[in-house]
Amino acid sequence: MAQQEVTNGSSEKKTGGGNDIMEVIEVKFTALKPQLVVEAPKANEAILFYKAAFGAEELGRTLHPKRKADQELPLILSAQLSLAGSTILVSDLADPSETPAKTEGTGLVFYLETDDVASAINKAVGAGAVVVSEIAEGEGAGCGLSRVGKVKDPYGVVWAIGSPAAKAAVVEA
């Protein structure tokens, strides 16, 4: 967790319109949670998949306040899943017009670290994921992982499953 720095009396702190020197604003963030928004009402199915594929544990869920009468499943506003020490959110996209903003055009992949890459990939495939990159070894496997394979889940998310790299390969910034 980042320390909030005290900047009282700092000469870097500037205000005023028309001043293009950026104001130094100290903000403390307490959590980062990737949120996956799936076509309604598939969030419940997606949660079951993440439990089966990756052993995710559900911490809780908030249901959508407006439930349509003709829907069997209540829509999920947000479910919190614990996975590898992180929290991810899974939500139903109830009305496409409600969330015009989504990440696009960028390559975004979730790296999951494990010492047992082959078993992890087998388990994910058993739960419904498909292999998109076979397990590769060495530097070419990329991204600081010494051994990595990739699967795509039924919701379009790519998971790179790899073992942590040797410490020697990391250059300190």
Question: Which residues 123-152 are close enough to bind its own copies by CB under 8 A?
Answer: 123, 126-127, 132-133, 139, 142-144, 150, 152
Give the other-Cβ count within 10 Å of 26's Cβ. Answer: 12
- Choosing from 93, 97, 129, 146, the residue that interacts with its own copies (CB under 8 A) is 93
CA angle 143/149/153 to nearest 5° reads 110
User: Cβ closer to its own copies: 57 or 137?
Assistant: 57
Sign, CA torsion 100/101/107/110: negative
53 near 128, Cβ under 8 Å?
A: yes
DSSP 98: G
Nearer to its own copies, 11 or 103 (CB): 103
- Residues near its own copies (CB under 8 A), total: 87
**Residue choice 101, 135, 146, 147 for contact with its own copies (CB under 8 A):** 101
Element (H, E) at 125: helix 117-127
Which residues inside 49-68 make contact with its own copies, applying CB under 8 A? 52, 54-55, 57-63, 65
Binding to its own copies in span 4-33, by CB under 8 A: 22-23, 25-33
